[in-house]
Amino acid sequence: MAKQDAAAYGSVKDHVTLSNGHAVHYVSHGPPTAPNTLLLLHGAPGSHRDFKHFAPLLVSDTISVIALDLPGNGLTSADTAGGWGLDNTSFVAAVAEAFALLVHKLPGRRFFIVGHSTGGHTAIQTAALAAQGVVHGVALLNSAGFRPSQSQRPYERVQGLAKKSAESPAGRKEVLKLLRPFLLKAGFPPSIPDDEMAYSIQRTATLDHRVIHDNVMLLVQRKVPFFIANAADDPIVEKAICNELIQAISPQIHLQFDTGGHNIQKSRAQEIATALQDWVSTLHPSRL
């Protein structure tokens, strides 16, 4: 596969407008005529900036990258997914519609969806909602899985916080007092806006994890290829969560690092980017 410096193409900010009139924003890298596109989905909270070290390394003559700002994060308003009524269902519906618009906007592309952390949940759900044959592969990086991770347990308490956040500004303020110190301790930057933190807990704590299992089984039945990478020392999503995904999926590629922490799209950017490029090439050699 021909390697190409992403700087030769630059990055482009753009958006797609959903049927509700609100825009989902993204940043793209790479050649506009590339036959393969990797759609990058961040965790909660996050933005396309979570992939600033990773996205340029993925670019080649045959691969372009689109990194979304998911609803309630970055430049994308939570109004894309119901505003303060945002939950996992409305969130994923907005992402799935944005993906469908991108597929229509870029005909002939082979799309691969890459999710980091809770973005792995979103990647799985978005791929399952897409028409069969549209998604050519799913890559999961330190992904959330079939049950709440150690950072979300007890899940009932987290669900209660999400409900309180959605109900009123006063409840939201109370939730944020508890949530911000936890996120700072977990390594998230202090610059994250309050609203993004609140939307993030509403996104993640309104999920029925049985949906993830069902969606994974559907994708396996469709024979969608999987790529999984994880770090054994991830303090947020423990190794056992990844092992359960691997057992259910039997991915074509599994990269496990002894170290790297949660944000392996940064700490292990080069290794993962090279492996993803090779994976895409192996799956579709006739197009590369």
In contact, 202 and 87? CB cutoff 8 Å: yes
Tens-digit pLDDT string for the chain (288 aa): 444 555 556 689 999 999 999 999 999 999 999 999 999 999 999 999 999 999 999 999 999 999 999 999 999 999 999 999 999 999 999 999 999 999 999 999 999 999 999 999 999 999 999 999 999 999 999 999 999 999 999 999 999 999 999 999 999 999 999 999 989 888 889 999 999 999 999 999 999 999 999 999 999 999 999 999 999 999 999 999 999 999 999 999 999 999 999 999 999 999 999 999 999 999 864 333
The CATH number of the structural domain formed by 6-151+209-283 is 3.40.50.1820
The angle at the Cα of 142, spanning 24 to 80, to the nearest 5 degrees, equals 15
Q: Which pTM does this prediction carry?
A: 0.95
State both tokens at 59.
Answer: 């670019």
> Where does residue 186 rank: exposed (0-12), middle (13-18), buried (19+ CB within 10 A)?
exposed
Amino acid (one-letter) located at 103 = V
Where in the chain are the domains? 6-151+209-283
Could you tell me the end-to-end alpha-carbon distance of the chain, in angstroms, rounded to an integer? 7
Q: What is the DSSP-derived secondary structure letter of residue 235?
A: S
